[in-house]
Amino acid sequence: MDNMLKITNGQAIARASIPLVPFESFFTSLSTFVKNDGYIVQFFAFTEEDKNFILAVVRNSDLYVISTEVGSIFQSLTGQVSEKFHMFEREVAEQYGLRPDGHPWLKMVRYHPNYTGYPDVFDNDYAEEIPGNYSYFQVKGEAIHEVGVGPVHAGIIEPGHFRFQCAGEEVLHLEIQLGYQHRGIEKMLPTMPMKRMPIICEAIAGDTAIGHNLCLCQAIESLAGMQIEPGASITRCIALELERLANHIGDLGALSGDVAFNPPASYFGRIRGEFLNLLQVLCGNRFGKGLVRPGGVAHIMGEEQRQLLRDKLAEITPEIEHVCDLLFTAHTVLARFEHTGTVSKEMASDLGLVGYAGRACGLAYDARVAFPTECYQDLPANSNKVTDGDVNSRAWVRREEIMHSLQLITMLLAKHEALMEEEKAVQTRPVNLAADSFVVTVNEGWRGEVSHAILTDRQGDVQRYKIKDPSFHNWTGLAMSLRNQGISDFPLCNKSYNLSYCGFDL
């Protein structure tokens, strides 16, 4: 760990201060780190003057950065050290054409040609526009059958392909192939003018518009040395919590619908809309698009908006409590939720699950507590009681987080009201970013740890933009949840995670 540099969430540093170590010591340091309760926040490649580099940001109770130079092949950490690297190394291979040697299952992540023009690591022909065109892992045996689902699913939902290997009803293995939503965001962002960046980041995953855009704006603010007003910070936190509430409540409703208990499904479906409407009260858009901008917020929360929020919360908090009670005490619901899709704490930690998926397995990590941004250091933390790793735990964590977020918003509203100074709304303006700098930002979006990283070049232009949605860690958790489950439990397990396709596909 000695050769890693400790860094602070959202604080830009000079690129020259990032340790650049030989690959062997990069390998050993990261191995030791992740084996001792360390997790990966970012692990990505970039090129400079025809040389390839890998940069890693890792966390325990602090954040650290380390980098190394690699040739077109490097020793895989996944194979020898930990599964935590598996998706990141595949991504490096796909984006930069660098081969992690010894990776146990090297396949594409999103299905696109690499940025460097190196020979394709996967021997894909991208004239064929089908990510699912690949020989899936297969279980062989007389009684084994295979079920393929998607990309187009039976509902209003994003596309992705699921391939199940089953013995009768029992799933032996689930392989998830995404990439259908790939829009080339990381590749396009460095070429974009500042005015387009927040709009794009709000559309990385529309259900996490606030979470992702916060990561962008904090990164820009740090690189451009912008200060934000306390009122804007509070508004940002309220928006992030409203986003969490809308999604958690929607998911509890959907879980209820999946076990055919319809009353909470309709009630939560409607109540979710109330929270989207509150985001619309703040900024005119039900997903909070257009609210957070570099330097602050584009819409000031005034007494009128505060009052609307307060009144609505007072009205629906008891309703939420009652519907939760209805859902969580129904025996038919518990019979389906409990012991379904279980992932052990050990497995969750091996995979590096984050957010409620991790917390439901007993991994307490919450970026709001570990690396607080905005006003989170002044707010109380949440804790979870039910952490058995099953659907029930993932539902319970949501329930607890719903109650916690409602409490946070009440506190934030009081804080905002007590502020004295006048706030000013901001617009996106061109800014000068610090040259040769690096910044990483981490926020606890509703699904878990959202992180963005920016490297600027000598001119202060964005050279590399890296995005990580929590789904990048957690899709593997869903696959593991399905091991030895009935295939009919797939919708329920899937909903208990409710991962992002577009956030993963970028």
Partner 1 sequence: MLKVIQNRIEQGCKTSNYPLEPINLYHRYRGLPVIDSECSLDIVQRCADICPQDAIQVEAKTIDLGKCTFCGQCEVEGEGAFARFSEDFGLGAANRGDLITQGTLPDLAAHSKQEFKKLFGRSLQLRQVSAAGCNSCEADTNVLNTPFFDLSRFGIDFVASPRHADGIHVTGPISKNMRQALLDTYDAVPSPKIVIASGCCSISGGPFYGSDEIIGDLNSLIPVDLYIPGCPPHPLTTLHALLKFFKQG
Amino acid residing at 373: T
CB of 75 closer than 8 Å to CB of 92: no
Nearer to partner 1, 24 or 315 (CB): 315
Q: Judged by CB, which is closer to partner 1: 288, or 389?
A: 288
Q: Write each residue from 72 to 111 as x if it is in contact with partner 1 (CB under 8 A), else as -, in one continuous string.
A: --------------------------------------xx
Residues 167 to 226 in contact with ligand SF4, rule: CB under 6 A: 203, 206
Q: Cβ of residue 416: shortest distance to partner 1, in angstroms?
A: 17
- The DSSP letter of residue 177 is E
| Residues forming beta bridges with residue 177, ordered by sequence position | 161
Contact assessment for residue 182 and residue 113, using Cβ atoms and an 8 Å cutoff: no
Choices 284-292, 371-379, 435-443, 475-483 (CB under 8 A): range interacting with partner 1 = 284-292
Distances (CA, A) of 245 to 163, 238, 316, 408: 32, 10, 12, 11
Residue matched to tokens 């995670």: 497
Q: Residue 460: left if φ>0, alpha if ψ -120 to 50, beta else—which one?
A: left
Selection from partner 1, ligand SF4, none that 425 binds (CB < 5 to 8 A by kind) is partner 1
Give dist(CA 433, CA 218) in Å, integer: 12
Q: Considering the complex, what minimum distance in angstroms separates the CB of residue 379 from partner 1?
A: 26
Residue with tokens 């992690």: 100
Shortest distance in whole angstroms from residue 234 CB to partner 1:
18
Convert residues 413-452 into a mask of x (bound to partner 1 by CB under 8 A) and - (unbound): ------------x-xx------------------------
Question: Vertex 367, ends 381 and 94: CA angle to 5°?
Answer: 160
Give, as ranges, the residues between 298 and 317 that touch partner 1 (CB under 8 A): 298-299, 308
User: Per 3-state DSSP, what percentage of the chain is helix, strand, and coil (rounded to 5)?
Assistant: 45, 20, 40
Least distance (Å) from partner 1 to the CB of residue 318? 8
Reading the block at residue 287, the tokens are 């997903």
> By CB under 8 A, is residue 209 in contact with partner 1?
yes
Total residues in contact with ligand SF4, by rule CB under 6 A: 2
Write phi, then psi, for 320 (nearest 5 degrees). Answer: -60, -45
Q: Which does 341 bind (CB under 5 to 8 A by kind): partner 1, ligand SF4, none?
A: none
| Contacts of partner 1 in 119-138 (CB under 8 A) | 129-131
Q: Which is nearer to partner 1, 58 or 189 (CB)?
A: 189
Nearest distance from C-beta of residue 59 to partner 1, angstroms: 27
491 binds partner 1 (CB under 8 A): no
The number of beta carbons lying within 10 Å of the beta carbon of residue 411 is 16
Of these partners, partner 1, ligand SF4, none, which one is at the site of residue 325 (CB under 5 to 8 Å by kind)?
Answer: partner 1
